[in-house]
Amino acid sequence: MKKIPLLPRYFRWIGVGLVLLSVLVYIHQKLLPDTSNFYFMKTFALIMDYPMSNGRVDYFSITEPYDMRLTIQLFLSLLGLTFLAFAKNKIEDEMINSIRLYAWSWSVILMIVYVLGITLFVYGFTFISFYYFIPHLLIVVYSIIFYVNLLKLNRKGNYEE
Amino acid sequence: MKNNIKIYRVMKGYSQEQLAVLVNVSRQTINALEAAKYVPSTVLALKLSNVLGKKMEELFELEEGD
């Protein structure tokens, strides 16, 4: 039987830590004054914002200091959520795998509905900000469906008939 | 699909937990199987058949509409 690649159990706690860290970064950057350069740093990246602001273009090179607030938050939260979603459970067997597959299927379907919805009804820059969170939403929806089903199963299976 | 796992498990004197350990799954999986909430893979069905000492046809039956 083909096995789904999963991370060791302790990655769940690393995931929780990373998600909390991204929340802390969010709170911290909100508390900083507008003039602060705390999250401005040089990075190795492709930057093309010529349609906007100052028209900066950098082709995968060490860039000028760039505002990394959103990048740090998105990176930490996505990595944390991924660790949470892909960490092994206490017991892994074929039924857990089938619940996992069911949860992934529904989360993909719901994401397609979400993308179709925002494509039809959201315009302008707001559209881009809705797009940022697609992978996060995919994993959050998957986790909710998976853990709700697991909880239901545990509740039903608590008593031996 | 119907199954007679519960009957043969009780006849063998196993608890759900013991059967789960013997076929290497969780007790919840055995519970779901007995409640016909989950259809096992061929591998698990064969393991159950070996452990309970019954033929597959005795353990599992197709229902109308299957």
Question: Any CB–CB contact under 8 A between A34 and chain B?
Answer: no
B44 touches chain A (CB under 8 A): yes
Confidence tier at A145 by pLDDT (50, 70, 90): very high
Secondary structure element (H or E) that encloses residue A45, with its range: strand A44-48
Does B50 contact chain A (CB < 8 Å)? no
> Percent helix, strand and coil across chain B, each rounded to 5?
60, 5, 35
Q: How far is CA A133 from CA A111, A112, A114, A118, A141, in A?
A: 11, 13, 11, 12, 12
Task: Give the ipTM of the model, two decimals please.
Answer: 0.84
Q: Residues with Cβ < 8 Å from B40, sequence gap 6 or more?
A: A94, B33, B48
Which pTM was predicted?
A: 0.83
| Number of domains observed in the structure of chain B | 1
Q: What is the pLDDT of residues A42-89, one digit of tens each?
A: 888 887 776 665 667 777 878 778 788 888 999 999 999 999 999 998
Q: Which of A98, A110, A105 is nearest to A150 (CA)?
A: A98
Question: Which residue range forms the structural domain that includes residue B12?
Answer: 2-60
Which residues of chain B neighbour A99 with C-beta distances below 8 Å? none
Query: Lowest mean pLDDT: which of A41-55, A111-125, B43-57?
Result: A41-55
The answer to whether A94 contacts B26, with C-beta atoms less than 8 Å apart, is no
Domain at B50, CATH number: 1.10.260.40
Q: Report the candidate in B54, B25, B51 with the shortest Cα–Cα distance to residue B40.
A: B25
Which of B31, B33, B46 is the best substitution to test chain A (most A C-beta atoms within 10 A)? B31
Report yes or no on B65 lying in a domain.
Answer: no
Alpha-carbon distance of A25 to A71, in angstroms, equals 11
For residue B18, being part of any structural domain is answered with: yes
Residue A1: is its pLDDT beyond 90?
Answer: no
Q: CA-to-CA distance for A63 and A21, rounded, in angstroms?
A: 25
